[in-house]
Chain A
Amino acid sequence: MNFYRFKRRHPQLVMVLLLYVAVPIVVGLALGYEMHGDAPTEIPTVVVDEDNSAFSREFISQVDKTASFAVTSHAASADEAEAELQNGQAMAGVIIPQDFSKNMLSGASPSMLILYDASQLVTLSAAKPAMTEIMMTMSGAYLQQIFAGKLNVMPGELSGNVLPVNIVYRNLYNPVKSFRSYLLPGMLLAILQVGIVMLGAERGFEHKNERRFSVHMLNLVLWALLAVLGVSICMSVQFALGMPYRGTIAGGLLLLFAYCFVITLMGYIMGLLIPERLLGVQLAAMLVLPTSVLAGYSYPLTAMPHGFQVLAKFLPYAYMGPDIRALCLKPMQFKHVLPHLSVLLLMAAGLVLLLGVVLLWRRKHAAAPAEEAIA
């Protein structure tokens, strides 16, 4: 069958299939495949070893052995290393100055310079903790020598002297520090919510002249259910690619439905209000596009100015974006999603009320010219 003719005859069906089936599958597959490495490894690292001692060689070998780093080049000077970072050949650098080992043994406390390309957030977030860990190990070994050699501390007491307070870190919920699990759940939702709100706006525009409230509500529920299906398809692709889902399924679906209902309703009201179809759709999209940033999904809310923290309380995404990630990674029970579910239901109730007001207002304005015409 000629697809073009089919598209001309059934544009709505084609768009629904595109936005709720094709896009979720394609985007889910593409981004899941792109980030299937999960965490940054083998960060290209440039090394300047001006010391060239047994210690410096051991240190560089330790860096290279760590999964996070790959020593890709040896530069002759710090300037050369910086140039490699500048042109993107390296994303981290280790500069060990001349006589470093000698000065260390003589107790002159020399400094080693570690460079990070801080314009690359992903590699930076992996490189810094990994380098700190290597430094702590090396520093611990050195201090053990000091305590054992100069202070005659017994081997059993060494660790207590070298590391009086031993900080044990436990990474909960995402122990492999998967960047995919951190970023994709909320980002995929952010992608799909744009489609949800736009289709909502289109439906609102189409039903401008519909007088029965029940028809509007039925429409909204139906489109919200379709949206749930779209998001579920997209997330299922991620689960098939290995992303976990540890939370409550019923709670997650209920939360998702409440969220999709609110977003569809926002678009619907916009479609009813704006007389021009295209502008209505564009404005509806702009209403939700920035929310993944403003609701604190990646950049934390606590860091934002107070006004933005207050604004975030009114953004539906703030009650679903971080939650969809939490549902994937944390063993959330129904009681844990209940507070946000309540807020979304409240928002839905408020918006339904607004819808009623808009419909009454439209009816009044539509009735006035008709009465005038009769008169």
Chain B
Amino acid sequence: MSALRELIERVLRYKSYLVLTLVPLLFVLLFGGAMSPVYNTDLPVLVYDMDASPASRQVVEQLEIYPYLDLREGAASLDEVEQQFLYGEIIGAIIIPEGFGDDLHAQRGADLLVMLDSCNFMNMTSVMTATSTVGGTLNAALRLQLLEAGGQTPTVAMDNVTTLSVIDRGMYNPTYGYIYFLFPVLLAIFVQQSWLAGVSPYLIEKKAELAKAPLDVKNFGRLAGQLALFLACTVLGLALWCVTLNVLFNYPFRGSVLLMLLVHVPFVLAMTGMVLLIASIFDDPVHCTQFNMFLTIPSLLSCGYAWPVYLMPEPFRVVITHIWPLYYFANPLRDIIMKGCGIEQVLPYAAGCLKFAAFWLPAGLIAYAWKIRRLRRLNEEDLCSDGC
């Protein structure tokens, strides 16, 4: 017990620094490891072959060749298929109806029903891509046979089948990997949350101290010095997380590190304004922490990263860019890291963030100073009532 207490005391002594540098590193390792396989594989999909003809078996064989599906067979009825969906055992079902082979031979066009559990978009898209790829290959082969049977040479038939071909290019994330998409916003969230978790308890403690100590410049100078040290820690922390991501998970960083700093520092300034404001509201670091922790996911979902700004209702967009600064950090971070954008794209965000900080930092300072004065007065009242 005493060993645990000793360990905790040591941790507490350096807690803010650990929170600003090493704690998010654990999350980088955890999330990076979980999402490191870029492709969505082993998708549980049920095949219900009601036809059981050579043609339908050929379709099943084609599906089995496709690498990302975990094909299961054995359903006896459509009701059983539905039950498997409801139990969450499968995310897609391919139903080959009776008469599929006959329709194909008679050139009537044979239907293949693909049922998708569209509760999860990522799974739905993956199964859709798989089935349309297999379906496209099958159709191309069958069309080729028909055209050649109609007297076209193999080359002409091939040209006719492959005409109007499309080349898809997923810019900035060619493998459509979720890890590549998610990490810029996660890095932004790590900076935000570590700043909130590391700095706000310190400011609350300092507030109580300042309420009892005489007001002098030295005390505020110490506070500013400590905040500068925290800023250095968060810069170091971000660099550490990026290097870890790059080295361990081959995460590509396309843009300049200096540009990342250009948006990072104004964001931290803006966040300092928010932290001062929060620290002026809460007197108990535990309650402050509870409030701060709540901000993680709502700020992530409303910063214009997961749900693009152009899709937001206008009033919401205006409010969100004026009351919380993550918009000015998460979005340019994506542009720098994924797109390799230059200063002309990043500068408007940095300028916007500085404007944000220009309002909220003084506002936070005023609120913090006001709260210290109020605490002073309350302390004096308490002393007076004790004395009386």
Interface residues of chain A, those whose CB is within 8 Å of chain B, are 4, 8, 11, 15, 18-19, 23, 27, 30-31, 33-37, 40-42, 44, 82, 85-88, 91, 104, 107-125, 128-129, 131-132, 135, 138-139, 142-143, 146-147, 150-151, 153, 157, 159-175, 177, 179, 181-183, 187, 190-191, 194-195, 198-199, 202, 274-279, 281-282, 285-286, 289-290, 292-294, 298-300, 302-305, 307-308, 322, 325-326, 329-333, 336, 339, 365
- B297 engages A329 (CB within 8 Å): no
The answer on a CB contact under 8 Å between B88 and A191 is no
> What 9 A-B pairs come out closest when comparing CB atoms?
A118-B170, A118-B173, A160-B109, A151-B150, A164-B142, A171-B118, A174-B118, A160-B107, A107-B159
- In this complex, what residue of B is CB-closest to A18? B291
**A187 engages B114 (CB within 8 Å):** no
Q: Which residues of A contact B290 (CB under 8 A)?
A: 15, 19, 195, 198-199, 202, 281, 285
- How far apart are the CA atoms of A332 and B108 in the complex, in Å? 38
Known: A112-B167, A157-B107, A303-B37. A120 touches B308 (CB 8 A): yes
Interface string of B134-170 (1 = CB under 8 A from A): 0100110011001100111000101111111111111
Q: Assess whether B166 is in contact with A114, with CB atoms less than 8 Å apart.
A: yes
Q: Taking the complex as formed, is B70 at the interface, i.e. its CB lies under 8 A from any CB of chain A?
A: yes
**Residue from B8, B40, B88, B107 in contact with A274 in the complex, judged by beta carbons closer than 8 Å:** B8
Q: Is the CB of B5 within 8 A of A299?
A: no
Q: Is the CB of B287 within 8 A of A11?
A: yes
Interface membership of B286, Cβ < 8 A: yes
Name A115's contact: one of B151, B159, B171 (CB within 8 Å).
B171
CB-based contact B116/A194 at 8 Å: no
In the bound complex, do residue A31 and residue B119 qualify as a contact, i.e. CB atoms below 8 Å apart?
no
Complex-state Cα separation, A199 to B291, whole angstroms: 11
Indicate if the CB atoms of B128 and A169 lie closer than 8 Å. Answer: yes
Pick from A108, A175, A339: contact of B118, CB below 8 A. Answer: A175
Nearest B residue to A44 via CB reads B310
Pick the residue among B86, B119, B168 that contacts A331 (CB under 8 A).
Answer: B86
Does B237 have its Cβ within 8 Å of any Cβ on chain A? no
Report the separation of the CA atoms of residues A31 and B122 in the bound assembly, to the nearest whole angstrom: 21
Given contacts A41-B311, A86-B339, A289-B293, 19 further A-B contacts (CB under 8 A): A31-B301, A34-B316, A36-B313, A118-B174, A118-B181, A119-B338, A121-B306, A125-B122, A128-B125, A165-B110, A165-B138, A177-B121, A182-B121, A198-B289, A302-B70, A304-B35, A307-B33, A322-B120, A326-B119
Q: How far apart sit A303 and B122, CA to CA, in the bound complex (Å)?
A: 11
Q: State whether the Cβ of B30 lies closer than 8 Å to any Cβ in chain A.
A: yes
Contact of A299 among B34, B70, B313, B341 (CB under 8 A): B34
Count of B residues near A, CB < 8 Å? 120
**B118 contacts A19, C-beta separation under 8 Å:** no
Report chain A residues within 8 Å CB of B150: 150-151, 153
Interface string of B354-374 (1 = CB under 8 A from A): 000000000000000000001
CB < 8 Å neighbour of B104 from A164, A171, A199: A164
Contacts A191-B294, A302-B42 given: A278-B109 contact, CB under 8 Å?
no
- B293 & A198 in contact (Cβ 8 Å cutoff): yes
Contact code string B98-114 (vs A, CB < 8 Å = 1, else 0): 00000110111111111
Contacting residues, chain A, for B116 (C-beta < 8 A): 169-172
Residues in A neighbouring B180, C-beta threshold 8 A: 119
What are 14 A-B interface contacts by the 8 Å CB criterion?
A36-B313, A108-B163, A110-B163, A122-B307, A125-B122, A129-B128, A139-B163, A165-B59, A191-B296, A191-B297, A289-B293, A298-B120, A304-B35, A305-B36
